[in-house]
Amino acid sequence: MRQHKLWLLAAVFGLFILAGCKQQGAAITAVGSSALQPLVEAAGERYSSEHSGEFINVQGGGSGTGLSQIQSGAVDIGNSDLYAQEKSGINAKKLVDHQVAVVGVVPIVNKDIPLDNLTMAQLRGIFSGQYTNWSQVGGPDVPVVLVNRATGSGTRVTFERWVMNKVPTKAAQEQDSTGMVRQIVSSTPGAISYVAFPYVNKTVKTLKLDGIAATDRNVQTNKWVIWSYEHMYTKGTPTGLTKRFIDYVLSNTVQQKIVKKLGYIAVNEMQVARDLAGHVTKRVGQ
């Protein structure tokens, strides 16, 4: 009887191992940015269903994880919200950048704040700690509650780069996920933070900046400046399945359908291009 059970156990284990090995054929792993993760996951699933025997494993972990994993060669693709050059500890020369989408970042406030519009200087003043009450920027007499993303997160780096202009952000609450930020802003009076476009919903209110609304259209023309590319980094020039998958992500099928559906902006619809240093050029030939 006991012998029996042992055999059964061994058989079950064997099955598990077999199930693990079943992924014959090619498989690649993409790791990193949680902002980019949904897009890569959706594209990966679609790719696998169209190409049997080829698998894309997608994991989160943050932009820093993505960049350090691709740098060490542990994965095939490193997803990041930032240019590799912007991250300390990364040797960007060995990495090849593939910009697969654009994502905008927008300030959000608690719904009780009746303001619709701030100037860029006011927004900067709020996040640097110069304004601590909404009445100082024309709102009601409610103290400002800052909610930041974690230091080094892609969204925060983007926001600080294009809003703060090297003015240090006041030390305040930090949260490590966008969902949490949105939840806190929606439930805390006087709260202000920033989220990527795909995360905006009815529980919070977005602000215009200098009268410009945060729309895809305005990002495409760079009127709305708080946006960043979503990068998929490879170590050296991609080959094989990695190359085929990245080409697939950049293809019209993914760019037009998945990218838009998830709230990102397609790269080929951008009317401008922006390099690492922030220089904006008109895109031609698209």
Partner 1 sequence: MAEDKIRASLLKESKASKREKHGKILSFAAIGLIVIVVVAIFIFVATRGIATFTVDKGSLWDFFTKSQWNPGATDKSGHPLIGALPMIVGSFAVTLLSAVVATPFAIAAAIYMVEISPRRGYKILQPVIELLVGIPSVVYGFVGLSLVVPFIRNHFGGTGFGILAGTMVLFVMILPTVTSMSVDALRSVPRYYREASLALGATRWQTTYKVVLRAAVPGIMTAVIFGMSRAFGEALAVQMVIGNAALLPQNLVSPASTLTSILTMGMGNSVMGSVSNNALWSLALLLLLMSLLFNILIHRISKKGALH
Determine contact, residues 190/136, Cβ cutoff 8 Å.
Answer: no
171 counts as binding partner 1 under rule CB under 8 A: yes
Piece in contact with partner 1 (CB under 8 A), picked from 46-54, 55-63, 111-119, 222-230: 55-63
Which residue in 99, 130, 132, 188 binds partner 1 (CB under 8 A)? 188
Piece in contact with partner 1 (CB under 8 A), picked from 98-106, 131-139, 175-183, 267-275: 175-183
State in angstroms the smallest separation of the CB of 74 from partner 1. 11
Which residue in 129, 152, 198, 263 binds partner 1 (CB under 8 A)? 152
State in angstroms the smallest separation of the CB of 222 from partner 1. 26
Q: Which residues, numbered 84-123, are part of the site for partner 1 (CB under 8 A)?
A: 87-90
198 counts as binding partner 1 under rule CB under 8 A: no
Which residue in 28, 54, 64, 158 binds partner 1 (CB under 8 A)? 64
**Cα–Cα distance for residue pair 117/207, rounded to 1 Å:** 5
**Cα–Cα distance for residue pair 11/166, rounded to 1 Å:** 61
Task: Enumerate binding residues for partner 1 (CB under 8 A).
Answer: 34, 60-65, 67-68, 71-72, 87-90, 145, 150-153, 171-176, 180, 183-184, 187-188, 191
